Structure 1
Amino acid sequence: MWHNGVVLDTAQDAITQGDLIVIPTDTVYGIAADPFSSTAVDRLLVAKGRSLTMPPPILVADMEQALSVAQVPGSLQALWPGAVTVIVKPIKKLGWEAETVAIRVPDWQSTRSLLYETGPLAVTSANITGMPPATTIEMAQEYFGDSVAVYIDGGESPLGLASTIVDLTGVTPTLVRRGAVEWDDVMAALN
């Protein structure tokens, strides 16, 4: 499995240096950067062909890491780890100006092991904007080539679907994007 010490150290070093890495998750492959470095986040957005009008979500290892970054309700423990991304208010300064932040705990132990090493990561689907998300490391390499310092191969993505995105900043939860988890299941867990 890829969560050996050498791979984790190499990925950690790349993140510390402001470089990009590609990681497997429970949904699709993600391209990742340090969310607290504006330079690293800019590099991520340029590689993806996206602007700061759509800042990257943040992946965290567990609820404790989530609470260190954002105002996250305890009811999310029923959905996390899992393929549900929530939009909430940040409590920590990010590498971009943000009134809200999208955050998720992936349901993939190897990815969470990496997140315990690196801390929270800005991670968005590994694809050029408008192209299908990478479900294999080969797809990610075709998209990004040398702009990524470390590629971590976790085999084919188990779900192959993006996460469900829910906005929790209003009075009631709002569905932003349908994804791997059904809306009824999200609402049942949140209520």
Structure 2
Amino acid sequence: RRTVQLADGSQLQLNTGSAVDVHFDGQQRLVRLLEGEILLTARAGQAPLHVLTGQGLLSSQAARLTVRQFNDHTQLAVLAGQVEVMPNRYNGLALRVDAAHQVNFTRKGWDTPRPTDANSGAWADGMLVAAHMRLEDFLNELGRYRRGQLQCDPHVANLLLSGSYPLDDSERILDLLEISLPVKVRRFTRYWVTVQARV
């Protein structure tokens, strides 16, 4: 994870496995999200700030937002301000997403905006927040912040957990799972870990 100060004073934070192209000049302020996830704190400027993803274009004057690129869709969470969403192959009016709301969109449209979840942008503060999250989904998220393979046995995939976990100590998080859930963490090597049912 890293933080970059942009030419207009806006701040860009990149999550793990993320890449962007930034084009700022007198005419435009454009951040192209190539892969991964960003948290952008956009200051008001002469030109609107645009974020381009594989599925569409986001526009705002001043906002705080996270944008995550998936293979087939983009996830936007607006933490402050307002953001307009225009999918690549959509011909109608842009969708306006207000603060404390998130939405998934594809090239053709979007789902219904909903309140932001507990984990929106938490990674920028070094935290992984779970609120009744499936164990498999939790481990997929945790796997983004550690090297190697982190597997989940299908027998425990649907166990639910809640809590706030510091991303800088993934080994401690795995230890805590054994305390809070009926699971055993098997470490075949430091880089090959499986979470399975406790026998």
Larger RCO, structures 1/2 (Cα 8 Å, 6+ apart): 1
Which structure carries more helix by proportion? 1
TM over 0.5: no
- Bigger Rg, structure 1 or 2: 2
